Amino acid sequence: MSVSTFLQKDSYMSNTSRSLVAGFVGGLAGSAVKSLIEQFLPVRKVEQRSAQIKIMDDLSTRITGTPISTQNEALAEQLVNIPVGGSLGAAYGYGKKDRHGLRPMDGVIFGATTWASTHETSLPILGLEPKPVDVPVRMQLNELFAHIAFGVTTELVRNYLDKQLRDN
């Protein structure tokens, strides 16, 4: 059985596969847009390291005995962003497997809840980011905006690919 035949069959497995693939690719695109926005809108103080860098730095230190070099921090950050964005997108796509059509507001909600469940709660609890009360409102709004753009992009790409995979 070929991949195209598998994706074209109208079954639970093919619907699920299409949704996971479309969501995963959407999440990758959303991560790229979010990273691009963060190049122009500050989401943390200059001296503050991102949660992604802290995670990769700790991992590098445990594996190699040395932290990540400054020139490799941007790459290390993307080594966290890309799989996390793709995974979140795949979960989002799975959740939308029975809801066809473009719904940008779903993307807004997805991005906002991703922001709230990471930057406003879990990352501060884990000590990877400061508490929300210690972050300037402007930076919080920039981060929220970047996450909403992530969610909307994920929805746009997910919808497009889902339609292409169903129609072809």
Cα(37)–Cα(142) distance, integer angstroms? 9
Q: In the prediction, which pLDDT does 5 show?
A: 57
pTM above 0.95, yes or no: no
Q: In the prediction, which pLDDT does 148 show?
A: 98
pLDDT tens-digit profile, the chain (168 residues)? 566 655 556 777 778 888 999 999 999 999 999 999 999 999 888 778 888 888 888 988 999 999 888 888 888 888 889 999 999 999 999 999 888 889 999 999 999 999 999 999 999 999 999 999 999 999 999 999 999 999 999 999 999 999 988 876
Cα(141)–Cα(139) distance, integer angstroms? 5
Nearest residue to 149 via CA among 122, 120, 112: 112
Q: In the prediction, which pLDDT does 4 show?
A: 62
- With the C-alpha atoms ordered 106, 43, 49, 136, is the resulting torsion angle positive or negative? negative
Q: In the prediction, which pLDDT does 49 show?
A: 86
Q: In the prediction, which pLDDT does 126 show?
A: 92
Amino acid at residue number 103? R
Q: In the prediction, which pLDDT does 46 show?
A: 78
Q: In the prediction, which pLDDT does 32 show?
A: 95
